[in-house]
């Protein structure tokens, strides 16, 4: 099996690192990565990797935006299927022209449900982070 580079490990842990950076200093993040994720970095290397990762992500998104803006194809008629979020059962099916779709404001109930799910995930992430520090 090929040995992974430090940057590839960093890339795979980027979401975790971003969450850690909300709570900890760079020094704290370096300690947690070393103890819990077997990734030995210096503070300056962490900062360099953060810069490099964000720069690459930005370049990729700019390239994607430019490629999509140069495309002048007429939108195809697509089949639209509306699915119940809880059961994944189809609610409505129709053919629609992508250019004719109007924005539908989500209901307060759907927004509240989405917010509660987000808060639950955030709480779980914070609990995981605090357990990493306790080790």
Establish if 29 belongs to a structural domain: yes
- In angstroms, the CA 99 to CA 123 distance is 39
Shortest CA distance to 110 belongs to which of 76, 84, 72?
84
Range of the domain at 30: 1-72
Establish if 104 belongs to a structural domain: no
Establish if 110 belongs to a structural domain: no
Q: What is the DSSP string of 83-130?
A: E-TTT--EEEEEEEEGGGPPP-PPPHHHHHHHHHHHHHHHHHHHHHHH
The answer to whether residues 129 and 20 touch, using CB atoms and an 8 Å cutoff, is: yes
The answer to whether residues 23 and 129 touch, using CB atoms and an 8 Å cutoff, is: yes
Establish if 97 belongs to a structural domain: no
Establish if 12 belongs to a structural domain: yes
Establish if 35 belongs to a structural domain: yes
Q: How does pLDDT run along the chain (135 residues), one tens digit per residue?
A: 567 789 989 999 999 999 999 999 999 999 999 999 889 999 999 999 999 999 888 888 777 766 666 655 555 566 666 666 666 666 655 555 555 556 677 788 888 888 888 888 888 888 777 766 655
Instruction: Give how far the C-alpha of residue 132 lies from the chain's centroid of Cα atoms, to the nearest Å.
Output: 21
Establish if 86 belongs to a structural domain: no
Quote the number of domains for the chain.
1
DSSP-derived 3-state class of residue 78: strand
């Amino acid at each position: 099996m090929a040995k992974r580079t430090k940057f590839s490990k960093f890339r795979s842990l980027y979401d975790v690192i971003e969450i850690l950076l909300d709570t900890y200093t760079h020094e704290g993040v370096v300690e947690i990565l070393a103890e819990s994720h077997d990734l030995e970095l210096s503070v300056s290397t962490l900062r360099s990797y953060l810069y490099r990762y964000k720069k690459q992500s930005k370049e990729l998104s700019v390239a994607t935006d430019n490629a999509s803006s140069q495309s002048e194809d007429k939108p195809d008629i697509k089949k639209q299927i509306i699915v119940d979020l809880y059961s994944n059962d189809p609610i409505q099916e129709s053919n629609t022209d992508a250019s004719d779709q109007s924005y539908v404001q989500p209901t307060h109930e759907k927004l509240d449900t989405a917010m509660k799910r987000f808060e639950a995930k955030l709480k779980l992430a914070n609990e995981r982070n605090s357990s990493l520090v306790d080790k």
